[in-house]
Structure 1
Amino acid sequence: MSELTTVARPYARAAFEFAVDKNTIEAWSTMLFFASEVAQDATIAKILTRDKAPQELADLFLNVCGDQLDESGQNFIKVLAENGRLSVLPRIAQLFAGLETEYNKEVDANVVSAYALSNTQLKELSISLEKRLARKVNLNCSIDKSLIAGMVITAGDLVIDSTASGQLSRLSHTLQS
C-alpha cells in the first residue's frame, strides 16, 4: 500500500494544485472518483495489466469515461497512461480527497457508541470536537452494543476512548503502576 501511495502522491498533488489554480476542486474530485471506479472495473483492470501502447490504453480509457472528463481530465489520463500509472487511479482519487478535506479545513470523525446518540448529543459533540480540532468536523456514527457504555471517537491521529471497558482498563493500568 505504501508503494502505491508513493507512486500516486505526486499525481494527486499535481491534480489538486491544478484544481486549486483553476478553482475546479469539486469538478476534479468528481472526475477522479469516476475514473477511479472505471480503473477498478474487473474488465478494465485486466486490460491495464496487458502490454498495450500507452496511446491505445488512454484512448480505450477515455472512450469508457465518455464525457465525464473535461479536457484537462482527459490530458491527466493521457499522462497517466504514458507513464503506466492508470492502475493507481483509485489511490490518486483517495489522496486527492484527503488534500481536499485538508484544504477545506475539515476532518472526518468516526464515532462508535454503545447506543444511538440524539441530535442534541451529536450537535454538542460536533461543536466540542470543532473547538478542539480547530476545523469543521464531519461525524460518521455507528453503534456497537458490545461497548456497554460510552463511545470511541477517532479523528485522524486523535483517539478518545470514553467506553466503560476503556476506563476500566486505564484504572487497572494505574493500579498496577
Structure 2
Amino acid sequence: MSELTTVARPYARVAFEFAVENKCIDAWSAMLNFSAEVVNNPTMSEILVRETTATELVNLFISVCDGQLDEHGQNFIKVMAENGRLSILPSVALLFSELETAQNMEIDVDVISAYALSAKQKSEISESLGKRLARKVNLNCSIDKSLVAGMVITAGDLVIDSSAIGQLKRLSNTLQS
C-alpha cells in the first residue's frame, strides 16, 4: 500500500495544485472519485492488466466516463495511461481528498468508544481536539464493545487510547519491565 501511495502522491499533488490554481477543487474531486470508481469496476480492472496500448486505454476510459471528465481531466487520464498508472487512480483520489481536507484546515478524527457517545460528549471531544490541533475536527464515531470502557481517538499520527483494554495493556507492560 505504501508503494502505491508513493507513486500516487505526485499525481495527486499536481492535480490538486492545478485545481487550486483554477479554483475547481470540487470538480476535480468529483472527476477523480468517479475515475477511481471506474478503475475499481471488476471489468475495467481486468482490462487494465491486459496488454493494451495507452491510446486504446485512454479512448476506452474516456468513453466509459461519458462526459464526467472535462478537457483537463481527460489530459490527466492520458498522462496516467501513458505512464501505465491508471490502476492507482483510487489512491490518487484518496490523496487528493486528504490534500483538500488539509487545505481547509480540517482533520478527520476516528473515535472508537465502548458505548455510544452523547451529543455533548462529541461536542466536547471535537472542541478539545480542535484547540489542540488548531483545526476544524470532523468526528467519525464508531462503537467497539471489546474496549470494555473508554475510547480510542485517532487523528492522523496522534493516537489517544483511554480504553480500559489499552490501560490494562500499558499496566501489564510496565509491570513486566
Scaled by the length of structure 2, what TM-score is found? 0.94
Aligned twin of 1:139: 139
Distance 2:158 2:4 in 1: 25
Q: Deviations over 1:61-101 (max 9, x none)?
A: 00000111111111111111122111111111111111111
Q: Deviations over 1:124-171 (max 9, x none)?
A: 110001011111111111111121211110111111111122223334
Distance 1:56 1:175, change over 3 A: closer
Aligned twin of 1:124: 124
Superposition map of 1:16-35 within 5 A? 16-35=16-35
Aligned partner of residue 68 in structure 1, secondary structure? coil
Superposition map of 1:2-81 within 5 A? 2-81=2-81
Distance 2:165 2:7 in 1: 41
User: Could you list the runs of 5+ residues in structure 2 that have no partner in the other structure?
Assistant: none
Distance 1:21 1:106 in 2: 20
User: Could you list the runs of 5+ residues in structure 1 that have no partner in the other structure?
Assistant: none
**7-16 vs 166-175, which moves further:** 166-175
One-letter identity of the residue aligned with 2:8? A
Aligned residues: 177
Distance 1:121 1:51, change over 3 A: same
Aligned twin of 2:149: 149
Distance 2:6 2:148 in 1: 41
Distance 1:173 1:81, change over 3 A: closer
Aligned twin of 2:168: 168
Q: Deviations over 1:24-81 (max 9, x none)?
A: 1111111100001101111111111112221111010000001111111111111111
Distance 1:170 1:7, change over 3 A: closer
One-letter identity of the residue aligned with 2:120? T
1:6 Cα shift? 2.1
RMSD value, Cα: 1.4
